[in-house]
Amino acid sequence: MSTTASVCDALLLTGPLGAGKTTLIERSLVPALSGRRLVVLVNDAGSLPFDGMLLGATGIPIRAVAEGCFCCHAGGRMLEALAEIRDRLAPELLLLEGSGLSPPAPLAAALASEGYRLLGTIGVLAASQLPRLSRDPLVRAQLAAAGLIVLTGAEGLDRAAFAAARSLLRSLTPASVLPAFEGVIRGPLALLLAPGTGSAALEHGALHAGIATVTVTVAGLPRRGELCAWLAAAPPSVLRVKGLIQCAEHAAPLALNHALAQTDLRPLAARDAPGLWVAYEGALPEAWLAARPKGVRADDWAALEDCLVPLGACDARTGAAFIAGARVEPLAAAEALLDRLVAARRVAVLTTPVMRTVVEACWGGLVDDIRSLPDARYTTLDRTVGELDADLLVLTGMPDALAERIAEQARDRATVHLARRFALPGPSVSMRIEPKQEAALAQCARREARSGR
Give pLDDT, residue 231.
Answer: 95
Note the pLDDT of residue 203. 43
Q: How confident is the model at residue 123 (pLDDT cuts 50, 70, 90)?
A: very high
CATH number of 211-296: 3.30.1220.10
The span from the CA of 168 to the CA of 332, in Å, is 68
Q: Tens of pLDDT along 248-291?
A: 999 989 988 887 777 888 888 777 888 898 888 889 999 999 99
- Pairing status of strand 262-267 against strand 254-259: antiparallel
- The topology (CATH level 3) of 321-451 is Rossmann fold (3.40.50)
Q: What are the residue ranges of CATH 3.30.1220.10 in the chain?
A: 211-296
User: Has residue 239 got a pLDDT over 50?
Assistant: yes
Q: Where in the chain is the domain with CATH 3.40.50.300?
A: 8-193
Q: What residues have CB less than 8 Å from 15, skipping those under 6 apart?
A: 21, 98, 100, 123, 124, 125, 139, 142, 143
Per DSSP (E only), the strands in 182-220 are 184-185, 211-216
Q: What is the pLDDT of residue 59?
A: 66
Q: What is the mean pLDDT of residues 311-327?
A: 94
pLDDT digits over 210-224, tens only?
A: 677 888 988 899 999
Q: Are 132 and 240 in contact (CB under 8 A)?
A: no
Low-confidence winner among 16-25, 182-191, 309-318, 379-388 (lowest mean pLDDT): 182-191
Q: What is the pLDDT of residue 207?
A: 53
The reported pLDDT for the residue numbered 1 is 43
Which CATH number is associated with domain 8-193? 3.40.50.300
Beta-carbon neighbour count of residue 158 at 10 Å? 9
Write down the pTM of the prediction. 0.70
Write down the mean pLDDT value for the chain: 86
Q: Are 147 and 198 in contact (CB under 8 A)?
A: yes
Instruction: Determine the pLDDT at residue 348.
Output: 95
Helix, strand, or coil (residue 7):
coil
pLDDT at position 201 is 47
Q: How far apart are CA 158 and CA 160, in angstroms?
A: 6
| pLDDT tens digits, 162-198 | 999 999 998 888 899 999 998 898 767 777 888 888 8
